[in-house]
Amino acid sequence: MSLVTPDFGLLFWMVLIFGIVLFILWKFGFPIITDMVEQRAGRIENSLRLAREAEEKMHALAQEQDRLVEEARKQQATMLKEATESRKEILEQAKAEAREEADKILAAARTEIAAEKESALREVRAQVAELSIGIAEKVLRKEMEDPAAAERFVQQLTEEI
């Protein structure tokens, strides 16, 4: 027997054993292997589907985040605008109140000045009247010292009345 050329009997038994092993594998081994490959393919497809869903969810979350950030910016801008308007309104109100208070103070000062002026004028008039009466009294006394001049003065007053 030669190593390069096998015998017919050896070839027959090798083909027969190969056929039996192939049949056993075909009947019992390949279905298990195919089922395992199909299960693995199913798990891979499921994992890919889950990964796509997760990616879509992440994309949706990113869009939602962008929308929320934009909304927050708009709210911030609105709040800043409202704060600015409120500040302006408060300043205007404070200015108006200050003007009103200043006007009240000026009016009170003017009233007080007018009252003081009137009081001073009354005092001056009273003093002028007192001085006039005093002067008139002195003049009358001087005029009344002479009885003839006093009589003339009385007659003149009676004629005027």
Tell me, what's the pLDDT at 27?
93
Domain span including residue 60? 13-160
**Distance (Å) of CA 64 to CA 82, 88, 155:** 26, 36, 117
Q: 2 pLDDT band (50/70/90 cuts)?
A: low
What does the CA dihedral 41, 47, 53, 58 come to, rounded to 10 degrees?
A: -150
33: in domain:
yes
Q: Report if residue 39 sits inside a domain.
A: yes
Residue 157 confidence (pLDDT) = 76
Query: Per the structure block, which two tokens stand in for 96?
Result: 């108006």
Residue 6 inside a domain? The answer is: no
**Is residue 7 one of the residues assigned to a domain?**
no
What are 55-95's pLDDT values in tens digits?
999 999 999 999 999 999 999 999 999 999 999 999 999 99
Output the pTM of the full model: 0.42
Look at the chain and report how many structural domains it folds into.
Answer: 1
